Structure 1
Amino acid sequence: MMKFLIMMIFMIPLCLKKNMFWMVQMMMFILLFMFMNLTLNIVNFCNLSYMYSCDIISFSLILLSIWICSLMIMSSENLFKIKFYDNIFLLNIIFMLIMLFLTFSVMNLFMFYLYFEASLIPTLFLIIGWGYQPERIQAGMYLLFYTLFASLPLLMGIFFIFNLENNIMIYFLKFFNLDVYLLYLSMIMAFLVKMPMFFVHLWLPKAHVEAPVSGSMILAGIMLKLGGYGLMRVMIFLQEVGLKFNFIWVVVSLIGGFYISLKCFCQVDMKSLIAYSSVAHMSIVISGIMTMNYWGYLGSFILMISHGLCSSGMFCLANINYERLHSRSLFINKGMMNFMPSMSLWWFLLMSSNMAAPPSLNLMGEISLINSLVGWSWLTMILLMLISFFSAGYSLYLYSYTQHGKYYGGIYSFYMGVSREYLILMLHWLPLNILVLKIDNSMIWF
């Protein structure tokens, strides 16, 4: 694991040189292929040390992080073209990638907390430094304080565990079972805010709407997964108390997911709609982890990976339109099929993945999550049906509203999609639909 970390650290001087924008991206792809060839024992942790190690959850999420960061650079070509602090932008992305890499691979709970919080800083810089509207500072504050408010109890919880067990190694903690109510609340609250769960989700649409395309991609692609990853890790030693209280989070998430799905139909801002759809998807992920059964665990893991690719691709699409029309309003982004017919295909492909149509990974994740939740209680069937139905509904709503209809007469100049944009979209969509062929790695661990 150390060799990858050192490679990323040595990429920092590259960022500060002139005209190295694409070079940094190429280096990231090289890093990605090197990491992809890591020999991995699926059943348990490998490349093991007291500090960094890798199991299949860490491996997949680190891979996703490197992938999304490479595509972030690709989609932000505009900054490079107008020379808008592009070196600092690259530096920011590398710093973020290092933090994410460490968060997912570190085995010490305290170090995990440290990197978990540190990954917030580059995101904040992205929103405040490269955002579009003046409200971006308020959005940044929302992001910062929601997360910090909930994560101080997590730090206290980690110290409490260390005081109790003299040990905070993630893979040793599975031998303990801590039946302490306050500890349970303090350990999971930070992750639920990060996911974000309904009731503490208000920072997400705000941050997405104000963030530049790269900020939205990293927020949707990786930042929401930090919460799910943390929950997967801590639920293992909170099983006894989880059996008593987990039903609360399942109920809140499912009802919230249904409500948010309805809220998607009220949005007139493309980015806002995609952000709310993320909240709806993450609500099923939270419920799946909280059922604490095998199907739920795997389903949450698969849906996190697939949502990372799908949501990030959708933000790219919204940005492609924004770069041409300088508006994210659905009233202005109409009839795009007349202007960019081939881009309509990508809209269709990513929207169909978003509504969990085959052969996307989303379908596999949702099937196992539905299996898990219905096995946990048959009453969840009603809400799951509604969430799945409205998920297809708002995806179709967004697609038909943007692609069909009479286009806005005020558009005076326009140009087609360029090959770079088609490549970004293909690099989002292909793994999302090809990974289904290797689903056995994700589904059959034992």
Structure 2
Amino acid sequence: MNDATSLQRRLGLGLTLGVTLLWLVATTVTTLVVEHTLNKTLDSALEETSQRILSLAVVEIFNRESSDLLQQVASLRPHEEYITYLVRGADGIPLLISHDVDLSVFPETPQLGLRSTATHRLYGTSAVSDTFFIEVAEPLTYRRRATREMLTMLLLPLVVLVPLSLIGIWWFVRHSLGGLLAYRRALEARNAGDLSPVEAKRLPKELVPVAEAVDQLLARLRRALEAERSFTANSAHELRTPLAAALAQVQRLRREAPPGPLHDRAGRIEASLRDLSRLSEKLMQLAKAESGGLLAEAPRDVLPIVTHVVDDFRRTFEARLELSLPEEEQVVSSIDPDALAILLRNLIENALKHGQQDQPVEVVLSNEGVLRVINAGTVVPAEDLARLMDRFTRANTRAGGSGLGLAIAHAIAEGSGASLTLSSPAVGRRDGFEASLWLPL
């Protein structure tokens, strides 16, 4: 999902690109139309000019003393001549030329009609029964310059239009998608345990059914989880009293029974009741882990909690624990203290139960808020390691247990926004097992 493209960005860039492409297409079509019209107009002017000049040239030639002499029209004042002309007789001899003419532009023999060379646009016509011919030449550079200037004037607005279009379209799209963006932020701000209805305001009409379907799905999921948690908690709670009473009776029976089969059977029953009592306690912890409320109202220092849990294990179970605390005076986290205590207890119990008995269990808390529980032992295969945080899943071990300890720890970590990872072998070792918890800030 991190690679998904923003709808706002997609619409903004798409609409801006579309406007730009449409402008370019319109500019191209306009340029072609105007260029065609311009050429048609200039060709018409070229024809008109040649016919006017030829009529005057014929009169001028007839009024000469010698009609076969070449005469060049003088310029009244200095100027750049856009159109040059050449008047010739029937034998092709030049009779009259403009003042700034380049004879190499014209062909050796007169040609009638419009035509183009690599550099000029030419028009030729005749008069007096094809006795006199005139050819008028106009450089193509002027037409090309006019086309370029027109194209520049049409494209120049794009320099301002594209940024303004991008800003305007971006603002309009963001304003139009304001409800959708608010809905997205409301979803992003939620933690995994928040299943309350999502507040949806100003959503587009097309997305309202989606929001309603999400709320209905969350409601169904919330009811299903509440029913499951309620059943788990109530079952464990209701079992606690009869289990305690049965355990007390079995302990009394065991003390009163003489050595023999009855005493041994009472011992096995007592062990089974203790396992069942521990399972009931684990189920209550799992219900709490999945019930939400795993974050404290304000961040608290976790050092006292970690120290208390480790000292309690040392005192109650005479456990082989080594505690390493950071140099900082406190490590602050937003996780609920009771939830952290339950999580740490399960990690330590798992390490003591499945670790190598003659090696200590290390509990390490770093300045960055990383809590690590490390025990020595054989390496857990990767396929078993990937399933250890599932409920009632146990690796290939002879140690007792319900398979709920790591599942409870994982549920608390996930519900509080922490990150729990399992490693085997332990980091920096060739054997052992390590559970690392990144506490939420």
TM-score over 0.5 for the pair: no
Classify the TM-score, shorter chain: under 0.3
Q: Please, what TM-score do these two structures have when normalized by structure 2?
A: 0.22
More strand by percentage:
2
Q: Please, what TM-score do these two structures have when normalized by structure 1?
A: 0.21
More helix by percentage:
1
Q: Answer 1 or 2: higher relative contact order, Cα 8 Å, separation at least 6.
A: 1
